[in-house]
Structure 1
């Protein structure tokens, strides 16, 4: 049996649920998630859950916020004057906006409140502060080539 470990390329089918059972994400049936273990391509808790699983195995893994999208941070929520935003930007609760600061990289915020004078923007990831549960099926493990034994040498 092949076991998943650091450096392996794996394919998984998964369903992610919140504590109330709401599905927040799932791999498409015809396109399993493929990633290399240890490269940080998925959240740390998901990666930790697949390490040690055997190809063909299934498991349910609970992932706390510190191993997922972190805690919700109040300092990432800000009320801004409507006049600070371009007139052509639709301001609806639930809409995501891309913000380009004068310095630093672009980032995405969610509109969480709108009134006549202000707009509340939330820079937290939508799943920040949430416990996540994943149902995982490990479909394939391709071992890291450096884990293969060296071919015999001729003397």
Structure 2
């Protein structure tokens, strides 16, 4: 069976950056399982998965526009340190949720000064080309329940 709309696919992956450094991998874990066509994985990878079948192994480069988006400089801001009330020790790399005009925004601390905290609301992989090595392990028809709920149930998926 080939990966298409209304199918559930499972795959192992290794994600690397332009320098070949591993960013994420399913090695040593269960394969990632998703409902194809529902936007559960980045668009560029989902397009590359279309038509594949169990046993297929391939590599794909996903441009930022088809991955986690381009980097938006306007999402980088400096905020007063006292905006982080109740947090005594703020360090680069820490992540917080903030509220913005569009709702909840996840931000990462990039730099801390005496009075100012520099934050970045971009996804950590925004603006980066994603290099995937993929091995498709299973493809099956999605159940009607999975289709109506919009996610995979059972092994590798959601349990109600």
Q: What TM-score does the superposition give when structure 2 sets the normalisation length?
A: 0.83
Counterpart of 1:106 in 2: which secondary structure? strand
Task: Provide the residue aligned with 2:154 in structure 1.
Answer: none
Within the candidate set 119, 127, 130, 1:129 is matched to 127
Q: How many residues align?
A: 144
Who wins on radius of gyration, i.e. which is larger?
1
| Native 8 Å contact 1:110 1:123 kept in 2 | yes
Can you give the 5+ residue segments of structure 1 that lack an aligned partner in the other structure? Answer: 147-155
Q: Distance in 2 between matches of 1:7 and 1:43?
A: 17
Counterpart of 2:71 in 1: which secondary structure? coil
| Native 8 Å contact 2:35 2:142 kept in 1 | no
1:7 partnered with 2:6: yes
After superposing on structure 2, the runs of 4+ consecutive aligned residues of structure 1 that deviate more than 3 Å are none
RMSD: 1.7
Task: Provide the residue aligned with 2:40 in structure 1.
Answer: 41
- The C-alpha deviation readout for 1:94-139, integer Å capped at 9, x for no partner, is 11112245x6532210000111111101000000000011000011
Q: Distance in 1 between matches of 2:3 and 2:107?
A: 36
Q: What TM-score does the superposition give when structure 1 sets the normalisation length?
A: 0.86
Q: Distance in 2 between matches of 1:133 and 1:83?
A: 39
| Native 8 Å contact 1:13 1:29 kept in 2 | no
